Copies of this chain bind each other. A is one copy, B any other.
Amino acid sequence: MHIVQPGMEIDVLKENSKVANENYRLLKEHKIRSVDFMGSIGAGKTALIIKLAEKLRAKGVRVCAIAGDVTGVDDYSRFEKSGLKAFNCNTGHECHLDANLVRKSLREIDLDQYDVVLIENVGNLVCPADFPLGTDYRVVVISTTEGDDMVRKHHDIFLHSDIAILNKMDICDAVGVDPEVIADDYRKLTGGLKEIYKCSVKKDEGLDEIIKALNL
């Protein structure tokens, strides 16, 4: 994040935590389960959310999504086109969602109509790490196209998230990336306690395990 002046950063993060806690309480009052999907551009967050929502709807779970983006309605439109009720949340200039922006979106939603809210954060593997939104889970999504050094380069977001997902397993070979290197780095970073979830949204592989891990 952009450190502007000593002390300032702490104030911003403290204020964010306060609002994140309020969001969490509000969601719990309405018995809603929620997930924050973080990850870089092209990791496949939108497609993953669409697919998870399809599977959940098939089980009778009522789902909606919040589409976080700097500008535009691309992800929002993709959600809506797939049949997933969505709420657009533009940051304007900011490179990440924050608890306050999510609070505004939650006010738009008739919360009694949903069991699950899936939030797509802005495409960015650095900044969102610092700003919890008040969800049950924080997820980081990376893809094989990003190279095998993502865990080594971006400790913060992997340590700030509850589960990590490696998407686009179907094009490992086309992009020349060995997923085991990534899996191994993640294992080491988490003291051997956690495994990265491998999936291919395109081929619908590995998604049921993710739904289970997120208690959806």
Contact = CB atoms under 8 A, between A and B. Distances in A.
Contacts of A4: 2, 4-5, 8-9, 11-12
Interface stretch (A103-111, A112-120, A153-161, A191-199): A153-161
B95 A150 contact: no
Contacts of A61: none
> What is the total number of copies of this protein in its complex?
2
Contact of A127 (B11, B127, B146, B150): B127
A80 interface: no
A94 B42 contact: no
B143 A40 contact: no
Contact of A2 (B127, B155, B156): B127
Contact of A126 (B11, B74, B122): B122
A149 B77 CA distance: 12
B2 A145 contact: no
Contacts of A153: 69-72, 74, 123
Nearest to A122: B126
Interface residues of A, number: 41
Contacts of A146: 41-42
Interface string A32-69: 00000000111000000000000000000000000001
Contact of A42 (B70, B122, B143): B143
Contacts of A71: 153-155
A99 B69 CA distance: 27
Contacts of A11: 4
Nearest to A128: B95
Interface of A: 1-5, 8-9, 11-12, 40-42, 69-72, 74, 93-96, 122-127, 143, 145-147, 149-150, 152-156, 171, 174-175
